[in-house]
Amino acid sequence: MLSSPRPFDSHLEECGAFSFYQILVLLITQLSYVTVSGSMLCTVFDNLKPIVKACHDEEFDSLIQNASTSIDLCKCKNATLETEFDSLIVHLGFACKGSYVATSMSTAVMAGGVIGSIVFGYLADRFGRKPSLISCLAGCVLINLVLPFIAHGLTVVIIMLFLLGFFAGGYLVISVVPPVEVTTNRWRMLCNCLHGWPFGCMAMALTAYLTRRWNTYHLALGIEGIPFLVAHFFVSESPRWLLQHGQPTKAHKVLRRIASINRREPLKHAVAFYPDGADDQQESNVVNYTYFDLIRDKVVLLPLLVLSYSWFSGGVISFGIYFDLGGMAGSIFLKTFLMGLFKGTTGFIPYPLSKVLGRKPILVTSIVITSFSAWGTVILYYVGKAEYMPVLAVIGIGAIDPMWKINHLMSVELFPTVVRSMSRGVVNVSSRLASLVAPQVAYLSTFLAPLPFMIYGSMTVLHIIMVIRYLPETRYLQLPETMSIKKDEQNNAYTTESTNV
């Protein structure tokens, strides 16, 4: 096990815990969501269908005068259409082929996200945060630039959307880690509250509004990501990762660079530092962990299971809203923009609260409000006040985002540096799986309107119990660096050791 003469956070304080360099890393990694969010949620616009404003077929003449009657695009041969966005599904000629094509396209992106979360979670822990982030963002940029020129058939589109989700899902896993690993405990909450996803949703809405066509939309996403891709090359590898992977001299150089950019004096204390010639020997002693080690280490496994359920529960509710935006009244661009703005606003609430409360109270409060909103919606239906159901639904949506901020933060704080990205990969997979389940849950409303909210409410009750009973408080904890089990790869043996930094 690599050790440090002092807790690693003290070295970061000496370099400047949250100064120019940390702000630079935060901006580069989170502003890149202008491409990542738009890629992950591209089917919000790619699957839009035109609205029939009038049908000139004789059989529909009696309906033209009735403004409240909707006319099926696929049943009208001579229609006057209103198109907010010239979508990919219309370009492919599948707008009237039933919902299975739209569902298949959305599922392809989400399935790619599941695989990408697993693959890049492992690669980021094995080969570093920086190359993994660059690979993911480069993949998003490249796919968006290429897609408009090769989208000539559904099979090709499904494959490309899967790859888009693959790289975007990988970026989602890793992007929170670098800003948090280069700062200290008191700044981690702020870093998470400034997560780039809501900003990306707003940017996605503006991009779609300005382009109004699927091919220029994807081209714009790719072009928007290029400057941020270049900027990633100026960010150093995480010094925590370097130290835990037998490269203390490189870690020391990174910390000196951070101190220089932050206009601080060079480090006065060693960072578990070995002579240059010792690096090769240190690297040979480094243990490479796998996903199976997350199961073997009981200290890691329990919070991993609780957070996985937390991400799944929140994902079922959140993604049900994302992909239903096109079916709700109002401009799709305005709805998407306001959704991002609302999530960004409510998502910042945990930061001031964290000054007086721990992570768990904020998390539990967020889930409780969501639970009351879900069950309140059910009650409104049965007392004949169904028209007020959307109000409570919106309150529930707003309450979810603080939960996500705590989820992101605790997924960094609870797991050791050597398996942090893999652990985040597991919980992100839970969220991606939720995105596949959410449309099926929402579909149950066709049988009984409040049934999805009954499921949401039941999930939140279990969620509250699990968090209170099994999730530890992390407010004052330093980031764990090593596993509680020591792995001997040569003898395939495990021993228990302390996880203290």
> Distance between CA atoms of 287 and 169, rounded to whole angstroms?
26
Residue 433's domain comprises 8-46+99-485
70 part of a folded domain: no
> Distance between CA atoms of 249 and 14, rounded to whole angstroms?
17
**Contact between residue 222 and residue 144 where contact means Cβ atoms under 8 Å apart:** yes
Which pLDDT tens digit goes with each residue over 420-462?
A: 778 887 888 888 788 778 777 777 776 787 888 888 889 999 9
Give the range among 10-14, 237-241, 413-417 with minimum mean pLDDT. 10-14
- Region 39-48: mean pLDDT is 88
Instruction: Quote the tokens at residue 48.
Output: 């839009």
User: Looking at residue 98, what is its pLDDT?
Assistant: 57
Q: What is the dihedral of CA 330, 201, 224, 131, to 10 degrees?
A: -160
Residues 6+ apart with CB under 8 A from 274: 248, 249, 282
Q: What is the 3-state secondary structure (H, E, C) of 152-172?
A: CCHHHHHHHHHHHHHHHHHHH
User: Looking at residue 451, what is its pLDDT?
Assistant: 84
Q: What is the 3-state secondary structure (H, E, C) of 269-320?
A: CCCCCCCHHHHHHHHHCCCCCCHHHHHHCHHHHHHHHHHHHHHHHHHHHHHH
Secondary structure (DSSP) of 424-487: HHHHHHHHHHHHHHHHHHHHGGGT-TTHHHHHHHHHHHHHHHHHHHHPPP-TTPPPP-S-SEEE
User: Looking at residue 72, what is its pLDDT?
Assistant: 54
123 part of a folded domain: yes
| pLDDT higher at 479 or 131 | 131
> Does the pLDDT value for residue 282 go beyond 50?
no
User: Looking at residue 486, what is its pLDDT?
Assistant: 61
2 part of a folded domain: no
Within 10 Å of residue 66's Cβ, how many Cβ atoms?
9
Alpha carbon 287 to its chain centroid, in Å, reads: 28
User: Looking at residue 498, what is its pLDDT?
Assistant: 45
Closest alpha carbon to 339 in 230, 206, 498, 172? 206
| pLDDT higher at 187 or 389 | 187
Secondary structure (DSSP) of 338-349: HHHHHHHHHHTT
Give the range among 5-14, 148-157, 165-174, 492-501 with minimum mean pLDDT. 492-501
| pLDDT higher at 394 or 213 | 213
Residue type, 398: G
| Residue 2: pLDDT band with limits 50, 70, 90 | very low
| pLDDT higher at 435 or 215 | 215
DSSP-derived secondary structure letter, 236: P
Specify the DSSP element, H or E, that contains 54: strand 51-55
User: Looking at residue 269, what is its pLDDT?
Assistant: 54
Burial 289-326 (b: 16+ CB within 10 A, else e): beeebbeebebbeebbbbbbbbbbbbbbbbbbbbbebb
- Region 380-399: mean pLDDT is 73
Q: How far is CA 258 from CA 125, 128, 242, 268, 285, in A?
A: 22, 18, 14, 14, 27
DSSP-derived secondary structure letter, 183: S
- Region 131-155: mean pLDDT is 94
142 part of a folded domain: yes
Highest average pLDDT, of 108-122, 183-197, 202-216, 273-287, comes from 202-216
> Does the pLDDT value for residue 192 go beyond 70?
yes
| Residue 131: pLDDT band with limits 50, 70, 90 | very high
403 part of a folded domain: yes
320 part of a folded domain: yes
Give the range among 60-74, 192-206, 246-260 with minimum mean pLDDT. 60-74
Q: How many domains does the chain have?
A: 1
User: Looking at residue 335, what is its pLDDT?
Assistant: 77
> Distance between CA atoms of 349 and 485, rounded to whole angstroms?
37
| Residue 140: pLDDT band with limits 50, 70, 90 | very high
pTM: 0.76
Angle, CA 69 vertex, CA 63 and CA 71 arms, to 5°: 75
User: Looking at residue 176, what is its pLDDT?
Assistant: 84
Burial 219-247 (b: 16+ CB within 10 A, else e): bbbbebbeebbebbeebbbbbbbbbbbbb
> Distance between CA atoms of 483 and 496, rounded to whole angstroms?
9
Give me the CATH number covering residue 383: 1.20.1250.20
Instruction: Quote the tokens at residue 228.
Output: 């941020």
User: Looking at residue 137, what is its pLDDT?
Assistant: 96
Dihedral of CA 16/186/128/285: which sign?
A: positive
Q: Which residue bears the tokens 């004052």?
A: 476
Alpha carbon 461 to its chain centroid, in Å, reads: 23
Which pLDDT tens digit goes with each residue over 322-376?
A: 665 555 556 778 878 887 888 888 888 888 887 788 888 988 998 998 888 888 8
| pLDDT higher at 49 or 484 | 49
- Region 2-24: mean pLDDT is 71
Which pLDDT tens digit goes with each residue over 284-317?
A: 455 677 777 778 777 788 888 999 999 999 888 8
**Contact between residue 325 and residue 339 where contact means Cβ atoms under 8 Å apart:** yes
- Region 186-204: mean pLDDT is 86
57 part of a folded domain: no
User: Looking at residue 65, what is its pLDDT?
Assistant: 45
User: Looking at residue 257, what is its pLDDT?
Assistant: 87
65 part of a folded domain: no
| pLDDT higher at 252 or 60 | 252
User: Looking at residue 30, what is its pLDDT?
Assistant: 93
Per this entry, what is the length of the chain? 501
Percent of the chain with pLDDT over 70: 78
Closest alpha carbon to 143 in 228, 224, 88, 219? 219
Main-chain phi, psi angles of 80, to 5 degrees? -100, 115
Give the range among 249-263, 265-279, 405-419, 424-438 with minimum mean pLDDT. 265-279
> Distance between CA atoms of 259 and 178, rounded to whole angstroms?
17
Instruction: Quote the tokens at residue 101.
Output: 């094509």
| pLDDT higher at 186 or 487 | 186
If phi over 0 gives left and psi between -120 and 50 gives alpha, with beta otherwise, what is residue 145? Answer: alpha
> Does the pLDDT value for residue 57 go beyond 60?
no
Task: With both helix axes pointing from N to C terminus, report the angle between 248-261 and 8-15 in degrees, rounded to the nearest 10.
Answer: 30
